[in-house]
Amino acid sequence: MKIANFIIDQNSPVFIIAELSANHNGSIKTAIETVRAAKRAGADCIKLQTFTADTITLDSNKEDFKINQGTLWDGQYLYDLYKSTHLPWEWHKELMEVAKEEGLICFSSPFDPTSVEFLETLNVPAYKIASFEITDIPLIELVASKGKPVIISTGIAEEKDIELALDACKRMGNNNIALLKCTSSYPAPIDEANMCMVKDLANRFNVISGLSDHTLGATVPVVATVFGAKIIEKHFILDRSIGGADASFSMNESEFTEMVKAVREAESAIGFVDYSLTEKQKKGKDFCRSLYVVKDVKVGEILTKKNIRSIRPGFGMHPKFYNEVLGKKVTCSIEKGTPLDSKYFEER
């Protein structure tokens, strides 16, 4: 998978996405500052969300449209929430230009056909399907038909939902797909992260896999990296004190910076399968165990458990020869502290 100039595969660094979401807080100045802060924090990408209240729900006060799920937004109506949090479409072009200036990739999550066509006019390099849109097969088909990489969050998806979404992409001739493990709770409890799914998504569906994270802190992104995540998305905010719908589960600049550092260190720590030793490690073998004379031995005496032992350092014979050398007669006097060598005793 290639998004703009970033190649995402099993050998690439993790592609780290800072999610702007509602953290613009109704101010384009805040949105621009957030884009610049994401670059400073080490993100590879800033992601937007493209919707209006009218494109994502209905202006209705019926009970179906009232949030009552034990969330941060309980008591609000969907229309009111989305009206207060949407990113004005007229801001998109400027934010994408700022991202380009900063060297950040920028794309968005569309939520209906009009938002897809709008984003096409801006030539976005990829699309993200949000967790709650994974069942919107016509939307996924439209997105996939544009021939660009499609990243899909699986927060509320059962296996059959994932299969339907993947089939929708493939019907459109698009196999350039990534799946992100996601827990659709805000914030999400760490004990529900289930990071072993990152590896299973990749293996089961033969795709790039990653994480869209709503937990607090950097622990889950680091674990995801160890399990093979090649994409990590995290909500990003200038300062939680500005408030907003997503503030409580978003990382500020210093936290995001620490997360990026931890992820990059985790990548380095994973390494690769290799049983050979570096030159430094080879030198370290000097401190391993070997056979030493631990008591003065006179010519003609026998090697016993009292005068030879396996000790550090490693300049004597390998300890595997210990039982073989016991009982052998020495051909010369050997001083305590001498590394044992076969030249000191008779072969018999």
CATH topology of domain 2-51+86-270: TIM Barrel (3.20.20)
Pairwise CA distance, residues 160 & 175, whole Å: 18
Pick the CATH number of 279-344 from 3.90.1210.10, 3.40.50.970, 3.20.20.150, 3.40.50.2000: 3.90.1210.10
β-strand pairing of 127-129 with 177-182: unpaired
> pTM of the prediction?
0.87
pLDDT in tens, 115-126: 999 999 999 999
pLDDT in tens, 185-226: 778 889 999 999 999 999 999 999 999 999 999 999 999 999
Mean pLDDT score of the chain: 94
Band (pLDDT 50/70/90 cuts) for residue 348 is low
Domains 2-51+86-270 and 279-344 agree in fold: no
CA 159, distance to chain mean position in Å, is 22
Pairwise CA distance, residues 23 & 256, whole Å: 14
Pairwise CA distance, residues 104 & 4, whole Å: 10
Output phi, psi for 133, to 5 deg.
-100, 5
The residue ranges of every structural domain in the chain are: 2-51+86-270, 279-344
What's the pLDDT at 310? 97
pLDDT in tens, 272-298: 888 898 888 888 888 999 999 999 999
